[in-house]
Every structure is written in structure tokens, then in C-alpha cells.
């Protein structure tokens, strides 16, 4: 059994399959409690619609992943992250209650002390599907003031990330690496008054402004979706950053979900064997960040690269994506392709990244292609715990196994 979805933010492309479990109408914000700062939300609700329902109350989810069509159920069963994650952790850590349709066909209401609740993050629909979630919200202010702070070395950038996240002087923190000698840490601060606001939903491109401006101001709404218009920087692959094309491209189609559909169509119609997709997000302990960026620049050579610090809120932990609650990690995101070099085979560069992430004590998200052996995979993602929960809630294996679903070619 699989989930039938009109859109996806996964990059594990598989052949189209007919049918699927249609939960598309579980896509509503059921209620917002502005006093208790909570919301009741159905699992297929996109963050675009969730934010539209909470901002009028002066509230937002504690972590709003950067792409509009990411669903809250997807961000919890997978992993989401954004620039508030250094203080608020990951999206599943602000969930108070989950209503899950399990592989056994039961609807289970899971709470933080339950094994299914704890194992649900990073299970990617192999233990069940989220039908309803109760989530925490936090207050916002009308504007966000940005400071784009330049750095000339990986070591200096990593040191300041650690310092800023420790002292709590910013409300939002992320970074952009353009090259070995050019990178910026973007520090966001809530403000009630802005001398101006920038608009990056039309001709102007947000990531280009990072190199040109030292300060900027956005409404909180536009700040949350600053990356979506150009899918970070990936819209350039479709010519959407060309000024002439930009003026002709309908504004309503400057969206990440449109680009994602174009990628899927292109891969179906024109599969290539001379380039290897390298589309990954990895969490690296901040102490190893400079080493990882140096490795990545030498061996992979993709730019730009996104940086987003994260520290878990919950000290109990999440068994299928084990991170140390006492450690500050930095998510490194890179989404492009590299030429297959002589003597290489498809996947070699991704395998190289997987080994380096493991060497540095990091973790890799599973929304894209993975190349682990089965033994490696279960060592990284707690196979014994997964199998015990799977046996309890999906006894007849109606849902796929996590390794079979997430590892390329399996």
C-alpha cells in the first residue's frame, strides 16, 4: 500500500503506480486556539494553508519548513527544518498529539509517551499516516529585520554559528555558502516597524540579495516563504532567473511545486547517465562543519549550499533519527547534479557524502536517493527499534519497509 498524493517534495523518483490510498481531503486546519497557542490540523494540510490560518491570530508553527506545499504530516513522518530550528528543534517536536492510521488499519491516537509517537518521525509512511495533529504555535511580530553577515572561511562561519545559537541574540539563523571564500550568515530579528519591505515574489530574487545587501526587511509572511519563489536557487535550471524569462513567467507559477513537477517530467522524458543527482540534506555537528564544507568543496563542488543550525528541544529523543540533544547540529542542504567522472558509476559521489557524514557523527535525511547497504542503513536508523514498532502496528506488512522504500533500487 502507498499514499496517493498530487504533489510531492520527495526526490526518490520511482515509476508511476496506479491507485494508492487517497487521504487528499484530510487537508484542513480544523481549529486554531489563540489563547492556548495550539492548532488542530489534518495531516495533508500544506504549510502554506496552515500559515494562512495562524498568522491572522499573530501566531505561527514553531518551525515552518521553507517550501509551501510541504504537508505537516510529511514534515513529521519525514523531517522538516528552518531558521527557527536552532531554538525550536524539528517540526515533530512541537506536536502534542498524533492521530495515525496504521498499517493494520487501526486509527491510533498517539501521545509523546507512546512508542508509535516516538518512532513516527523519519518513518516516511512505513508505520502509518498522520490523519490529525495537535501542534504548538508561537507568537510572531509583523516584520523581520535581516542582517547578512559575510565570512571568508568555513572555520570562522562555524564559530559564529555556534556563538549566535548559544547566546540567543537572534530569532532566526541560517546561512548561504556561495564559495570557499564567500559565505553569509543571515540573522533575523523580529521588529514592529520596518523602514521598507522587500518583495522577492516577482522580479527580485532573494538569494541574490544576500550578496548585495547587508540589511533587509520582510513581512513575516514573506520571510517564511522567501525561499519558495525560486526553490532556493534551483529555479535557475529552468531559466526562471533570466530577466526576460522572469517577466514573461506568470507569477503564480514561480513556486517550488511547479519546479518539482518540471524536474519529474524531465527525468521521465530525458533520463541521463552522464550526470549524478546530488540532492541531500545532512545534519553535521557544528564542531565538524568546517571539515565537512572543506570536503564538500573539494570532492563535490556544488554551490550555493544552505546552512541551517538545529538543536533538539526534546531530550527524550527520536529513535529513528538519533541525534544528541546536547549537540548543536548544522543542516547542510545541496540540490544539484555533478558530472559522472571517468571510472565512476552512478551514486559514487552520494556514497562518498554518506561516508563523510557518518565519519563526522552526522545524519542524512531520507527524502532523496540513498545508497547504504542494508546493514549500514539499520545501524544509522535504529533497525531493532523500528522492527519492534513495525511488528506491533503493521503486523501483515501492508506498508513498505523503511529500507526498501528509502534506499535506491530496493
> 392 in helix, strand or coil?
helix
Q: With contact defined as beta carbons under 8 Å apart, do 99 and 130 qualify? A: yes
pLDDT digits (tens, 9 = 90+) for 367-386: 898 999 999 999 999 999 99
Between CA 288 and CA 155 the distance in angstroms is 10
pLDDT of residue 410: 40
> What are the angstrom distances between the C-alpha of 169 and each of 90, 105, 160, 212, 312?
20, 47, 12, 24, 18
d(Cα 162, Cα 165) in Å, to the nearest integer?
Answer: 5
pTM of the full structure: 0.94
In the prediction, which pLDDT does 270 show? Answer: 72
pLDDT at residue 170 is higher than 70: yes
Distance CA 66, CA 256 (A): 10
Q: Grid coordinates standing for 327?
A: 549537540
Query: Helix 289-299 to helix 154-167 angle, to the nearest 10 degrees?
Result: 140
Q: How far apart are the first and last CA of the chain?
A: 16
Alpha-carbon gap, residue 154 to 21, rounded angstroms:
46
pLDDT tens digits, 200-246? 999 999 999 999 999 999 999 999 999 999 999 999 999 999 999 99
Contact 135, 61 (CB under 8 A): yes
Residue pair 262/101 in contact by the 8 Å Cβ criterion: no
The CA distance from 378 to 365, in Å, is 14
> Could you read off the pLDDT of 322-338 as tens digits, one per residue?
999 999 999 999 999 99
Q: Give the separation between CA 216 and CA 191, rounded to whole angstroms.
A: 12
Q: Residue 138 — very low, low, confident or very high, per pLDDT cuts 50/70/90?
A: very high
Nearest to 333 by CA among 279, 384, 401, 372: 279
Cell 533570466 belongs to which residue? 242
Q: How far apart are CA 216 and CA 206, in angstroms?
A: 10
DSSP letters, 27-80, are: --EEEEETTTTEEEEETT-BHHHHHHHHGGGTEEES---SSTT-BHHHHHHTT-
- Nine cell digits for residue 137: 504555535
In the predicted model, what is the mean pLDDT of residues 84-110?
A: 97
Sequence-ordered strand ranges (E) for 152-265: 172-179, 182-191, 215-219
Q: Tell me: pLDDT of 321 over 90.
A: yes
pLDDT, tens digit, 9 for 90 and up, residues 11-24: 665 655 666 788 88
Three-state DSSP at 3 gives: strand
Contact 365, 329 (CB under 8 A): no
* Nearest residue to 286 via CA among 114, 386, 195, 158: 158
DSSP state of 201: S
pLDDT band of 41, cuts 50, 70, 90: very high
Question: What 3-state class would DSSP assign to 222?
Answer: helix
Q: Tell me the average pLDDT of the chain.
A: 93
- Set of cell numbers at residue 249: 513567467
| Cell numbers linked to 354 | 554518506
The string of pLDDT tens digits covering residues 230-289 is 999 999 999 999 999 999 999 999 999 998 888 878 777 677 788 999 999 999 999 999
Backbone angles phi, psi at 25, to 5 degrees: -85, 0
Give the model's pLDDT for residue 74. 93
Q: What is the pLDDT of residues 113-133, one digit of tens each?
A: 999 999 999 999 999 999 999
Assess contact for 352 and 286: CB atoms under 8 A. Answer: no
Q: Residue ranges of the alpha helices (H) in 270-347?
A: 289-299
Distance CA 254, CA 203 (A): 10
Nearest Cα neighbor of 44 from 59, 30, 26 is 26
Amino acid at each position: 500500500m502507498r499514499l496517493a498524493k498530487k504533489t510531492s517534495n520527495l526526490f526518490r523518483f520511482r515509476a508511476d503506480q496506479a491507485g494508492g490510498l487517497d487521504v487528499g481531503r484530510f487537508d484542513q486546519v480544523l481549529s486554531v486556539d489563540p489563547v492556548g497557542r495550539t492548532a488542530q490540523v489534518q495531516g495533508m494540510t500544506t504549510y502554506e494553508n496552515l500559515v494562512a490560518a495562524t498568522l491572522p491570530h499573530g501566531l505561527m508553527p514553531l518551525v515552518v519548513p521553507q517550501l509551501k506545499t510541504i504537508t505537516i504530516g510529511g514534515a513529521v513522518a519525514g523531517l522538516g527544518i528552518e531558521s527557527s530550528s536552532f531554538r525550536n528543534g524539528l517540526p515533530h517536536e512541537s506536536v502534542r498529539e498524533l492521530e495515525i492510521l496504521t498499517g493494520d488499519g487501526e486509527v491510533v491516537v498517539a501521545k509523546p509517551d507512546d512508542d508509535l509517537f516516538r518512532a513516527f518521525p523519519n518513518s516516511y509512511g512505513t508505520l502509518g499516516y498522520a490523519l490529525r495533529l495537535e501542534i504548538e504555535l508561537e507568537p510572531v511580530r509583523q516584520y523581520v529585520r535581516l542582517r547578512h553577515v559575510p565570512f571568508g572561511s568555513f572555520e570562522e562561519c562555524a564559530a559564529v554559528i555556534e556563538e549566535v545559537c548559544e547566546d540567543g541574540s537572534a530569532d532566526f539563523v541560517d546561512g548561504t555558502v556561495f564559495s570557499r571564500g564567500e559565505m553569509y550568515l543571515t540573522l533575523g530579528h523580529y521588529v514592529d516597524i520596518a523602514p521598507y519591505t522587500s518583495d522577492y515574489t516577482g522580479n527580485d530574487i532573494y538569494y541574490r540579495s544576500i550578496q548585495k545587501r547587508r540589511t533587509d526587511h520582510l513581512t513575516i509572511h514573506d520571510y517564511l516563504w522567501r525561499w519558495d519563489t525560486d526553490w532556493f536557487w534551483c529555479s535557475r535550471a529552468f531559466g526562471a532567473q533570466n530577466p526576460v524569462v522572469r517577466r514573461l513567467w506568470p507569477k503564480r507559477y514561480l513556486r517550488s511545486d511547479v519546479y518539482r513537477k518540471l524536474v519529474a517530467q524531465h527525468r521521465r522524458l530525458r533520463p541521463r547517465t552522464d550526470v549524478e543527482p546530488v540532492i541531500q540534506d545532512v545534519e553535521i555537528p557544528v564542531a565538524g562543519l568546517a571539515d565537512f564544507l572543506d570536503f564538500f568543496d573539494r570532492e563535490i563542488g556544488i554551490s550555493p549550499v544552505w546552512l541551517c543550525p538545529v538543536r533538539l528541544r526534546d531530550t527524550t529523543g527520536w529513535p529513528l533519527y538519533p541525534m544528541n540533544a546536547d549537540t548543536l547540529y548544522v543542516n547542510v542542504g545541496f540540490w544539484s547534479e555533478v558530472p559522472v567522472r571517468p571510472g565512476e558509476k552512478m551514486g559514487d559521489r552520494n556514497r562518498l557524502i554518506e561516508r563523510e557524514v557518518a565519519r563526522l557523527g552526522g545524519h542524512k535525511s531520507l527524502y532523496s536517493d540513498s545508497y547504504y547497504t542494508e546493514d549500514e542503513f539499520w545501524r544509522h536508523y535504529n533497525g531493532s527499534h523500528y522492527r519492534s514498532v513495525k511488528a506491533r502496528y503493521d503486523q501483515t506488512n501492508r506498508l513498505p519497509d523503511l529500507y526498501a522504500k528509502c534506499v535506491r533500487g530496493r
